[in-house]
Copies of this chain bind each other. A is one copy, B any other.
Amino acid sequence: MFESLASIGIHLKNILGKAGRCLVVTDTHVWPLHGERLQRALQSVGWEPQVRAVDPGEESKSTQTLDDLYEWALSLEVERATAVLAFGGGVVGDLTGYFAATLLRGVPLVQVPTTLVAQVDSSTGGKTGINHPRGKNLIGAFYRPKLVLSDVSLLHTLSEDDWLSGLSETIKHALIADSGLFSDLSEDWADVLTRRSENLVDLVRRSASVKIRTVAQDEFESGIRMHLNFGHTFGHAIEQVAGYGVISHGRAVAAGMTAATFLSARYTDNLAVDTILEPLAALCPPEWRKLDAARIVEAMTNDKKRSDGRTRFVLLRQPGDAYVTADVDPRLVLESIHRAQQ
């Protein structure tokens, strides 16, 4: 739900029956900015939050941080009914979600996403996990939150990079399943980029809805949910080749969607390539143009979305109409990266 942070304590009470102790996992960037508001919202209706702030950034999605969280929680003698709140962006959400999924074989999870990426994408859908030296999100679980509460007012403190990252996922949802949203986003694009659009809450909410609808149709990612990976097969590889943390996930996906759009055009006549690429242009990270395209292709073959050793791609027929295929000419993959990098 999109609502003010101030209502979190009451919603939590409605869902879990009564207030008591709860665990909050956040990061040391978010907590000084918004922690007091969360704490007040919880304490005002009787919650007793215990707070743990991890380091910001992808490095915290590690077995080491996870072990620290287990030790912390178990030293507090938590019970199966103890709620765990994830208060932060995608990293905090993924890490905390996996922590909640595996602590005592699962405790109630609440996502309170504080970034645009997390609000439109990562906080819903139940994907949780941590990284492994061999790749991102290789250890994880599907685990659904009891509640996702997104407060759009939190987004005004985001860095420019985090904002553009979030817009990448926002527009991705439009591209795979909602052509009307894609038109509305494109029309308002200059104001959306600068966060001044009057339609912001509406656009963000509609984008999140695409994610929620898609996941509801396919919880375990065997069919239509694959569409959400539009731009991601390229994007993950771009992140990896750049070195994790150099290019943000969302902006790597923007670059990935650009390449995927060129690839789509090779299999669909009359794809409106320019219309699609126009809003993406501002989101692509400049650094990615210098990356070795052959290495990106190589990294893609190690992506976990493979089946039978073949790399699967999400391509577009038109904005709002995506499909999955493993039947792609590897030379065209390389070519589409080259074209996108120009």
User: Which chain B residues lie closer than 8 Å to A306 at the CB level?
Assistant: 79
In A293-317, the 8 Å CB interface with B consists of 302, 304-309
Residue from B81, B102, B104, B135 in contact with A102 in the complex, judged by beta carbons closer than 8 Å = B102
B-facing mask of A110-148, CB < 8 A → 1, else 0? Answer: 000000000000000001110010110111111000000
* Pairwise interchain contact B307-A106, C-beta atoms closer than 8 A: no
In A136-166, the 8 Å CB interface with B consists of 137-142
B-facing mask of A262-306, CB < 8 A → 1, else 0? Answer: 000000000000000000000000000000000000000010111
Task: Count residues on chain A whose CB falls below 8 Å from chain B CBs.
Answer: 36
Complex Cα distance, B102 from A102, in Å, reads 9
User: Which chain B residues lie closer than 8 Å to A142 at the CB level?
Assistant: 105-106
Known contacts A307-B79, A307-B80, A70 near B104 by CB under 8 Å: no
A77 at the interface (CB under 8 A from B): yes
User: Which chain B residues lie closer than 8 Å to A132 at the CB level?
Assistant: 70, 74
* Pairwise interchain contact A134-B75, C-beta atoms closer than 8 A: yes
* Pairwise interchain contact A138-B79, C-beta atoms closer than 8 A: no
A contact patch SS: mixed
* Pairwise interchain contact A104-B302, C-beta atoms closer than 8 A: no
User: Which chain B residues lie closer than 8 Å to A134 at the CB level?
Assistant: 71, 74-75
Distance (Å) between the CB of A81 and the closest chain B CB?
6
Specify the chain B residue showing the minimal Cβ separation from A302: B77
A30 at the interface (CB under 8 A from B): no
Known contacts A302-B77, A307-B79, A101 near B70 by CB under 8 Å: no
A28 at the interface (CB under 8 A from B): no
Distance (Å) between the CB of A168 and the closest chain B CB?
22
A63 at the interface (CB under 8 A from B): yes
* Pairwise interchain contact B141-A129, C-beta atoms closer than 8 A: no
User: Which chain B residues lie closer than 8 Å to A308 at the CB level?
Assistant: 79, 81
* Pairwise interchain contact A106-B304, C-beta atoms closer than 8 A: no
Known contacts A63-B67, A74-B135, A141 near B79 by CB under 8 Å: no
Distance (Å) between the CB of A75 and the closest chain B CB?
7
Known contacts A81-B307, A306-B79, A141 near B138 by CB under 8 Å: no
Residue from B74, B140, B309 in contact with A138 in the complex, judged by beta carbons closer than 8 Å = B74
* Pairwise interchain contact A102-B63, C-beta atoms closer than 8 A: no
Known contacts A63-B63, A67-B63, A70-B132, A138 near B104 by CB under 8 Å: yes
Specify the chain B residue showing the minimal Cβ separation from A18: B308
* Pairwise interchain contact A309-B105, C-beta atoms closer than 8 A: no
A10 at the interface (CB under 8 A from B): no
Complex Cα distance, B132 from A307, in Å, reads 34
* Pairwise interchain contact B74-A141, C-beta atoms closer than 8 A: no
A324 at the interface (CB under 8 A from B): no
User: Which chain B residues lie closer than 8 Å to A200 at the CB level?
Assistant: none
A103 at the interface (CB under 8 A from B): yes
Residue from B80, B127, B138, B305 in contact with A304 in the complex, judged by beta carbons closer than 8 Å = B80
Complex Cα distance, B302 from A142, in Å, reads 28
Known: A80-B304, A105-B127. 4 other contacts (CB 8 A): A75-B134, A102-B139, A105-B140, A106-B141
Kindly list the 7 A-B residue pairs having the minimum CB-CB distance in the complex, ordered from nearest: A105-B140, A74-B134, A104-B304, A102-B139, A79-B306, A102-B141, A105-B142
